[in-house]
Amino acid sequence: MSHLPLIFAIFPFIVFIFLLLVKKTSVLVASVSTLAIYTILSVVYWKIFPSFLYISYGKGFFVAIDIFIIIFGAIFFLETLKDLKIIKNISHYLGVISEDYRIQIIIIAWFLECFIEGTAGFGTPAAIAVPILIGLGLSPVRALVVGLLGNSIPGVFGAAGTPIKMGFVGLNVAGVPLISALLNTVGFIVPVFMLWVITSGRVNRKKEFWDALPFAVWSGLAFVIPSLLAVSLGQEFPSIIGSIVGLSIIIISIKVGFLVPKEKLSLIEDRVSESSVSAFKAFLPYIIFIVLLILGKITLGKIGVPLSLGFNHTFNVFNPGFIFIISGLLVILIWKEKWNIIYSSVKKGFSGALNPFLVVFSMLAMVQLMINGGNNSSGIYSAITLITNSFSTTWLPFFTPFVGAFGAFMTGSVTVSNIMFGNLFHVASLKLNLYSSAILSLGVVGAAAGNMIALADILTAEAVTGLKNSETKVLKGVIVPCLIYLSIIGLIGILVFG
């Protein structure tokens, strides 16, 4: 009987995984079913107070609205670029830097995504990169997998340091940025994972992989080393500076032929031989987006509208979705196109964002039930406490990255994962007489790795590509790299901090 609360706490997740991977249902069906089960358990078994049931659903709804705005904005922006044939022109100019598809993909999925994650986060990087990757000739599923791989380790210092700064608010985080940056250097293997994915299925896959392996490793190091050095400036800068400095190093390497594959390969034969616009104008939409993103983060990043509806929620004025929309409108204005293309982009934006919204709402409402379930008349601990307490063992340094990744998988956010588990990591580390900052660092690095499998990010990227019900295929593509990465971090944790 003593294990019954823990069994009930994890049962809905078993159902979720069973429905998704065994029954191969859509994420929407799996998530709504899981929420229904957890709601019943919360009412019947935990006997949660009705007010906290309302709070859980309410908070889940408003956070899902924030994500809906991001997804809608991303689709609106990208549909506008498609109508103006901008993606095709970008594909052409990437061929000017290098004609090799492996180099092009690593530049987009690694350096561009790291930069966008450093400035914005919120699942934005994959939504931006995946359509470009498809334009380079990758299949939509492979493009999604590669895009998700890229939206991982920069998340430790994503959105100008938000995961540590806000995710561990109220905790002593002295030492967390530096330890996290040191652990993050393991991320140099992520471009290797990307290379493995994009060469798999090719006729000469082994040769194409091994020929480009030195470049992939060099690209990984070119990001993680400057990122580590930049941590001395503050937690806001590692992902941003690491991507800018790293890309500069790689462009020089390409120009001088250092560690680049000798044989240049392309995925598509009918690449646009000439662009209809200049390079500056082709990349201008993304320049506009990134500039507005940075300005918005600086000027509006701390501004929020407090809402009090029986629970407290702050609606953030700075939302990347608004930046997407404004950027799309400016592009239409600059291109002097007819405004009637807005209708098509808006329509596709709403239809593409609705399904992800329902999924994210279901998952976030369930997470809130897990957190608030301790407010009950049964006297049973909340599900979050029960699950985390089961990891209060001497193996805590090994399991912590996996718990952090689980939080990101469920919520799609490194910051929210830190909020969920940060205090519990802290308390558990003190009980075991372990260095709290090290355990917190293992948690945030694990959560960033969990971005590879984050459902919200998968749905966002899937929506902008027009894919439907491909979640299982995508998860199968990212789960192995994610587990390998987490295992390495976990082993370092137990060997160094255990």
Contacts of 212 (CB under 8 A, 6+ apart): 100, 102, 103, 195, 199, 261
Q: Is residue 494 predicted with pLDDT exceeding 60?
A: yes
Which strand (E) or helix (H) includes residue 72? helix 50-83
Q: pLDDT above 90 covers what percent of the chain?
A: 37
Handedness of CA 168, 166, 414, 138 (dihedral sign): negative
Residue pair 455/461 in contact by the 8 Å Cβ criterion: no
Q: What is the pLDDT of residue 94?
A: 66
Q: Is residue 270 predicted with pLDDT exceeding 60?
A: no
Tokens in use for 247?
A: 């890309």
Q: Is residue 442 predicted with pLDDT exceeding 90?
A: yes
| pLDDT per position as a tens digit, 58-76 | 988 887 888 788 778 878 8
Long-range contact pairs involving 44-51 (C-beta distance under 8 Å, separation at least 24) = 45/8, 45/378, 45/380, 46/373, 46/376, 46/378, 46/380, 46/382, 46/383, 47/376, 47/377, 47/378, 48/369, 48/372, 48/373, 48/375, 48/376, 49/375, 49/376, 49/377, 51/310
Tracing tokens 């250097």 back to the chain, one arrives at 185
Partners of 376 in the β-ladder:
48
Backbone angles phi, psi at 404, to 5 degrees: -60, -40
Under DSSP, the state recorded for 497 is: I
Comparing 39-53, 171-185, 377-391, 483-497, which segment has the lowest mean pLDDT? 377-391
This prediction has a pTM of 0.78
List C-alpha distances in Å: 99 to 93, 102, 223, 275, 425: 10, 9, 22, 15, 47
| pLDDT per position as a tens digit, 12-23 | 888 887 887 788
Q: Which residue, 150, 444, 96, 491, is CA-closest to 275?
A: 96
- Rounded CA-CA distance 94/101 in Å is 9
| pLDDT per position as a tens digit, 161-210 | 778 877 786 678 889 999 999 999 999 999 999 999 999 878 888 999 99
Q: Which residue, 376, 297, 457, 54, is CA-closest to 62?
A: 54
Domain boundaries, the chain: 4-497
Residue pair 235/177 in contact by the 8 Å Cβ criterion: yes
Instruction: Give the residue-averaged pLDDT of 435-444.
Output: 95
Q: Categorize the per-residue pLDDT at 496 as very low, low, confident or very high, splitting at 50, 70 and 90.
A: very high
